[in-house]
């Protein structure tokens, strides 16, 4: 274990080094563009030492918003050959070259936190951002809900948990035999054993091809896209966003028609993801109705969404007591658990922080503190890696990672 003697300083310098002028890349090499939910977390980190820069991060993200309200998962502000698939593969026509899918909508929630911290200029900047945040929320309500009110992901990258076991059955049903030749770039930056497999990657690219062929027309994609999975990440983050937008609108006297109804609908959707047999919140294929049988770290975002669950709390207590570096992205007791392969086992500090926010909000202070403490030990002990082995703490993936640094500054490194 490599002790990091001044993690505060290290975290700040990571954010500054990954700053590309108005936006932050997740990490040099592997992820050289602006990612949607990474930026929302980055902003929380900046808020600890530069509030103005924190706002700018979110404002830059919204310069990429499409006319219909959609906010892309990647903004390709400048070309970089080190990443695939780039803007030429996505073929999108937004104001900034971008991907054609979204990511979990955590921007409203993180912006609310920055606004509450910024008593000097917060109101003015929030008022300017609010209509954009609301437009994105409405876009999600229009295009991503399933029949039960849960929110769907239309690409594994959209939920931000690329190769999670949640998608295995839905991916297995997809035919990607005609995907053609392409050159992955991720495995030239990091160990391929830690990354999604070729089977998965073929399907990621195939889904991009399908979207592009449809001109990213959401109406068409409702029928054309073979991958549509209602999932805890999208559902819980959208519900939380709706609650935060409502609070902001009330406090600033802004129009936010429909939000209360959205919250009710999303609450029903969130409860519909409860898998009684599994005893956990779970993902559900929207085409087949089949549950994924996956206990993931996203399952524990229920509190973040304001949803109480005694059973999830029991599960979390067990995990905190038995896994040295929780919360694993997939239940270590389940056969598909893989301690190093990305979203199939490893622990992600920013997910822990969001779980921690929820626990704190619903009064589970003891668990929130434990999780924060353990995440702090992980980062101060093993550094600012992209993610960590939940059993040994061993760091993996990209290094000097923006959101791990932000989590330290905003949450895990605070006594």
Say whether residue 162 binds ligand GLC (CB under 6 A): yes
Considering the candidates 19, 162, 200, 267, report the single residue annotated as catalytic: 162
Please confirm, yes or no, whether 123 is among the known catalytic residues: no
Say whether residue 186 binds ligand GLC (CB under 6 A): no
Report the residue number, 38 or 57, with the smaller CB distance to ligand GLC. Answer: 38
Say whether residue 167 binds ligand GLC (CB under 6 A): no
Q: Which of residues 353-412 bind ligand GLC (CB under 6 A)?
A: none
Please confirm, yes or no, whether 386 is among the known catalytic residues: yes
CB of 347 to ligand GLC, least distance (A): 14
Instruction: Pick one of 23, 35, 46, 330: the residue that binds ligand GLC (CB under 6 A).
Output: 35
Q: Which of residues 15-34 bind ligand GLC (CB under 6 A)?
A: 26, 31
Say whether residue 232 binds ligand GLC (CB under 6 A): no
Say whether residue 204 binds ligand GLC (CB under 6 A): no
Say whether residue 86 binds ligand GLC (CB under 6 A): no
Report the residue number, 51 or 301, with the smaller CB distance to ligand GLC. Answer: 301
Say whether residue 330 binds ligand GLC (CB under 6 A): no
Say whether residue 346 binds ligand GLC (CB under 6 A): no
Report the residue number, 307 or 406, with the smaller CB distance to ligand GLC. Answer: 406
Going by DSSP bridges, is the β-strand pair 274-275/387-388 parallel, antiparallel, or unpaired?
unpaired
Structure tokens at 296: 């993931």
Instruction: Pick one of 160, 211, 326, 395: the residue that binds ligand GLC (CB under 6 A).
Output: 160
Report the residue number, 162 or 267, with the smaller CB distance to ligand GLC. Answer: 162
Say whether residue 350 binds ligand GLC (CB under 6 A): no
Say whether residue 231 binds ligand GLC (CB under 6 A): no
How many residues interact with ligand GLC (rule CB under 6 A)?
8
CB of 348 to ligand GLC, least distance (A): 8
Cβ atoms within 10 Å, residue 190: 18
Say whether residue 38 binds ligand GLC (CB under 6 A): yes
Instruction: Pick one of 37, 46, 204, 382: the residue that binds ligand GLC (CB under 6 A).
Output: 37
Just list the catalytic residues: 162, 386
Residues near ligand GLC, by CB under 6 A: 26, 31, 35, 37-38, 157, 160, 162
């Amino acid at each position: 274990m490599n002790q990091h003697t001044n993690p505060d300083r290290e975290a700040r310098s990571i954010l500054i080094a990954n700053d590309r002028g108005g936006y932050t890349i997740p990490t040099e090499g592997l992820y050289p563009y602006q990612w949607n939910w990474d930026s929302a977390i980055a902003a929380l980190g900046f808020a600890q030492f530069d509030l103005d820069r924190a706002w700018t991060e979110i404002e830059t993200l919204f310069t990429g918003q499409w006319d219909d309200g959609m906010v892309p998962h990647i903004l390709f502000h400048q070309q970089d050959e080190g990443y695939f698939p780039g803007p030429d593969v996505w073929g999108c026509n937004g104001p900034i070259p971008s991907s054609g899918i979204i990511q979990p909508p955590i921007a409203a929630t993180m912006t609310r936190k920055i606004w509450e911290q910024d008593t000097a200029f917060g109101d003015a900047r929030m008022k300017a951002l609010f209509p954009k945040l609301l437009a994105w929320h409405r876009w999600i309500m229009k295009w991503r809900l399933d029949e039960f009110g849960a929110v769907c992901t239309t690409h594994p990258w959209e939920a931000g948990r690329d190769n999670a076991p949640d998608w295995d059955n839905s991916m297995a049903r997809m035919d990607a035999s005609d995907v053609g030749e392409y050159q992955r770039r991720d495995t030239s930056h990091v160990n391929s054993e830690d990354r999604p497999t070729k089977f998965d990657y073929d399907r990621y690219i195939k889904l991009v091809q399908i979207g592009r062929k449809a001109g990213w027309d959401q109406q068409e994609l409702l029928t054309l896209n073979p991958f549509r999975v209602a999932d805890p990440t999208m559902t819980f983050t959208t519900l939380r966003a709706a609650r935060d937008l409502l609070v902001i609108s009330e406090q600033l006297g802004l129009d936010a028609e429909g939000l209360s109804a959205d919250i009710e609908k999303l609450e029903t959707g969130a409860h519909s993801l409860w898998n009684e047999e599994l005893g956990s919140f779970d993902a559900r294929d929207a085409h087949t109705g089949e549950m994924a049988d996956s206990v993931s770290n996203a399952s524990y975002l229920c509190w973040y969404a304001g949803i109480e669950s005694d059973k999830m709390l029991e599960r979390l207590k067990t995990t905190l007591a038995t896994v040295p570096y929780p919360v694993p992205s997939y239940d270590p007791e389940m056969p598909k658990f893989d301690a190093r392969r990305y979203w199939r086992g490893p622990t992600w500090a920013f997910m822990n922080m969001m779980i921690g926010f929820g626990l704190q909000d619903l009064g589970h202070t003891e668990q929130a503190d434990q999780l924060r403490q353990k995440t702090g030990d992980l980062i101060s002990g093993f550094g600012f890696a992209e993610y960590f082995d939940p059993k040994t703490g061993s760091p993996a993936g990209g290094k000097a990672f923006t959101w791990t640094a932000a989590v330290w500054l905003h949450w895990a490194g605070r006594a």
